[in-house]
Structure 1
Amino acid sequence: MSDLLRALPNIKNQHNAPNLKPPAMPLTTADEGNSSSSDSSASTNDSVDTLRPSESTIPTPTPNPWPKYFEQELFLDSKTDSQHAKYHVYLTPPKDPAKGPLFICHHGAGATGMSFACFAAAVRKEMPGAGICSLEAREHGSGVFAPSNNEEILDFSIETLVVDTLAMIEGVKQRQGWKTLPPSVLVGHSLGGAVVTRIAANGTLGAQLVGFAVLDVVEGSAIEALMHMKTYLASRPSSFASVDQAINWHIRSRTIRDLESAKASVPSLLVPKDDRWVWRTDLARTQRWWEDWFTGMSGLFLRGRAAKSLVLAGTDRLDKELMVGQMQEAGHFIQEDVPEKTAHLMIEFFKRNDRSSLVLPPKVSDLLAQGKRV
């Protein structure tokens, strides 16, 4: 959401994007070879200009390329008297759950767990033993229904999103047979940053939470951007003729700046309707909770009971309560625009704060018992 202010000057140009019929781009499927994100990003302009448009106008099922980036796709059932949830999670378990790390990722509003796809691949490339768990919020890939009529429950309060997140983490833990959660780092982008900040402030995950990282959201700029949210939603295309066209729009509008990331995440943002592709998530339905998501976030961040990391795309996100760093060359979707840099930053963040790697000096009593002079 903090990207809205920067996007506003281009809103009028983007409004007519569906009628421009930009050239299509081939989708990355699970069995295609890997290509580096930096190479993809460097060749984006040439690729967009030279590819041929699709001949098909009828939506066909688009394969989700998740196996290229994660080892498992989990559907976790959770039932209570008031709701029946079917949570959706992408997972690559850590090779040694006792050592970790497990990076638990929560996307922003309107995105999905595939927003962390290229980030996950980059983490495993640099740190092969690490695990990545990418969660999907309700109406973003997960579904939460009323038992009485099986209709989706409309509740996007920050408290509810926190409960959903903790339920998914517990569900993954049980499904994997872990006695305790691996040493973990919570990584939240935009709205996801607000969610993980509250979990860290509450101390719910205890000592297993090594740290938490917030990507491109601070309270002040996020709330300021909310004033323009309706305009932004009205300005973007409401539908696309093809998934290829949607990928192209994300690249041309610089919503996502890395081509491989766009190929990985954009298909999961859409569902077929009639002869078009429309957004999976209706963000307008969440409007009543927008300000509540971010109010008080700065104070909660500072009170978080773990190591803290705040990564922003630009200095315009500066908040008076926080000292921040900047990730250059990135837009709002930091983990998609520069996945390798983000992965490296998170790995180093874990290494600096991993308490299991600390070597403590021997106790004086132990030295005396050994007959040593102190």
Structure 2
Amino acid sequence: MSNLQRSILKNRLPPTIPGGRIGRSDSFKKSRIRDFKPTLWSDFFAEKEDVILDKKRTFRIYRTKQPQKPGPILLLLHGGGYSGLTWSHFCVEITRIIHCQCLAIDLRGHGDTKTEQEDDLSSDTLAEDIGDLVLKLYPDDIPPIYLVGHSMGGAIAVHFAHKAIISSIIGITVIDVVEGTAMEALASMQSFLRSRPTHFKSIPNAIEWCIRSGQIRNVDSAKVSMPGQIINCTTKLLATNELPLPEDEADDGTSPSSFTHPFSISEDEEMGNDNGGAPTTSTTTASGSENDSSLDSSDFKKPSLPNDESQKRYTWRIDLSKSEKYWVGWFTGLSEKFLNLRVPQQLLLASIDGLDKTLTVGQMQGRFQMQVLARCGHAVHEDRPHEVAEVISGHLIRNRFAEAAGEFHFHLPAC
């Protein structure tokens, strides 16, 4: 691209599409001038609580306030490596649209949840945790529960619903996870994990990497989500426990040139390109999201890190590479289990190419609702929280599980 073309693109910003690739929000434009100050959980949730199940298990949960009218509980299950804070912006959006209460959980081994055997991430163990937590929170009368799960959390949601641990599940939405494509992607998952930096010098530094690497494409979401994914190397506490940051640490990003990552967002992609603003490459994950076969293991390069060991202050909360033995169990039989659930099902994908054969046949038979949200990455609900909230709200209203909180016009998806 010539300098003239680049200049034209910089000065011809298209209309804002929240969380999309074209027309970034004002907050994203601020991020280009080092605005990576983390935000607090309390900006999105009414309360947080550490729920003690027994001597071996204490689970962190986040809840929105009770709805003005009766509505379902949206039980939100995050993907591998994330935390309950991944749902922050989605919760704000959906509680504006419908009467419901959101309940976001830090799963075993993630976030501020503390358990023995944190490395046991088998489907059965995670499903048992969720069931015990629900029974602890609602010992007398379990309200209607609608499951929403992303990636690993989507697979666990299906497994949980299939085992029928509780009887009040009214429906399920699975976000960007499909058995066939997930199983195919497992071979490259370890290479992807090795490509990530092992440490960060500060919380804003981690947020900046999250955006520039393309892990999350919505800077506002990264500011609240990323601190829930890293811990202080000295205290071993989640980074969220250090917020709010002192002013002298709040603007501690790193120059873009210090990150070299195969999935980083180029300036051309940020501003739009000849493809209508769509990215020229996309990530390969164990989720079934949009992939690019040209990216093999030889393309992965670990981002550069500070030479000073004292600057390696934060690292990942969970070492996902150690969970490899459970990956096959998460996804095996997932499509059939999803189709055979006796509650309304919805599937949200980042790419139409994500469907496997089983789900393709099921979709043609009208056995579930599907929606593809373009111009977003694997973390669909973080990149485009408003659109995801609208799609799920429409599904809930259409099935008479919830009432609109105000005037809401939703057009049924075409696929």
TM range (shorter): 0.7 to 0.9
Instruction: Indicate the residue corresponding to 1:65 in structure 2.
Output: 40
Q: Deviations over 1:63-85 (max 9, x none)?
A: x7111111111111112xxx610
Is 1:135 equivalent to 2:135 in the alignment? no
**Contact map agreement 1:203 1:305 (CA 8 A) in 2:** no
Q: Deviations over 1:26-65 (max 9, x none)?
A: xxxxxxxxxx9559943465333322899xxxxxxx7x71
Q: Give how far 1:203 is off.
A: 2.8
Q: Give how far 1:305 is off.
A: 2.0
**Contact map agreement 1:258 1:336 (CA 8 A) in 2:** yes
1:108 to 79, 86, 89: 79
How many Å separate the matches in 2 of 1:165 and 1:108?
Answer: 14
1:154 to 119, 141, 152: 119
Is 1:292 equivalent to 2:329 in the alignment? yes
How many Å separate the matches in 1 of 2:218 and 2:43?
Answer: 17
Is 1:317 equivalent to 2:358 in the alignment? no
**Cα gap change, 1:130/1:201 in structure 2, threshold over 3 Å: closer, same or farther?**
same
**Contact map agreement 1:93 1:102 (CA 8 A) in 2:** no
Secondary structure of the structure 1 residue equivalent to 2:357? coil
Q: Which TM-score applies when normalising by structure 1? A: 0.74
Instruction: Indicate the residue corresponding to 2:388 in structure 1.
Output: 342
**Cα gap change, 1:235/1:38 in structure 2, threshold over 3 Å: closer, same or farther?**
closer
Secondary structure of the structure 1 residue equivalent to 2:32? helix
Instruction: Indicate the residue corresponding to 1:51 in structure 2.
Output: 34
**Contact map agreement 1:103 1:186 (CA 8 A) in 2:** yes
- Report the residue type matching 2:102 in the other structure: I
How many Å separate the matches in 2 of 1:270 and 1:45?
Answer: 22
How many Å separate the matches in 2 of 1:337 and 1:52?
Answer: 17
Is 1:169 equivalent to 2:134 in the alignment? yes
**Contact map agreement 1:210 1:306 (CA 8 A) in 2:** yes
Higher helix share: 1
How many Å separate the matches in 2 of 1:355 and 1:293?
Answer: 28
Instruction: Indicate the residue corresponding to 1:215 in structure 2.
Output: 175
Q: Give how far 1:157 is off.
A: 0.9
Instruction: Indicate the residue corresponding to 1:202 in structure 2.
Output: 163
How many Å separate the matches in 1 of 2:206 and 2:385?
Answer: 21
How many Å separate the matches in 2 of 1:352 and 1:52?
Answer: 40
Q: Give how far 1:201 is off.
A: 1.8
**Cα gap change, 1:253/1:184 in structure 2, threshold over 3 Å: closer, same or farther?**
same
2:315 to 278, 292, 300: 278
How many Å separate the matches in 2 of 1:67 and 1:153?
Answer: 26
- Report the residue type matching 1:166 in the other structure: G
Q: Deviations over 1:304-330 (max 9, x none)?
A: 121100000012211111124311122
How many Å separate the matches in 2 of 1:52 and 1:198?
Answer: 40
Q: Which TM-score applies when normalising by structure 2? A: 0.67
Larger Rg: 1
Secondary structure of the structure 1 residue equivalent to 2:82? coil
Instruction: Indicate the residue corresponding to 2:294 in structure 1.
Output: none
How many Å separate the matches in 1 of 2:42 and 2:25?
Answer: 25
Q: Deviations over 1:334-365 (max 9, x none)?
A: 110000111111111111223688xxxxxxxx
CA RMSD in angstroms comes to 2.4
**Contact map agreement 1:210 1:354 (CA 8 A) in 2:** no
Q: Structure 1 unaligned runs (5+)?
A: 1-35, 55-61, 146-151, 358-374
**Cα gap change, 1:52/1:91 in structure 2, threshold over 3 Å: closer, same or farther?**
closer
2:206 to 234, 239, 246: 246
Secondary structure of the structure 2 residue equivalent to 1:321? helix
Secondary structure of the structure 2 residue equivalent to 1:86? strand
**Contact map agreement 1:102 1:132 (CA 8 A) in 2:** yes
How many Å separate the matches in 1 of 2:82 and 2:232?
Answer: 17
Aligned residues: 298
1:190 to 124, 145, 151: 151
- Worse overlay, 322-331 or 88-97: 88-97
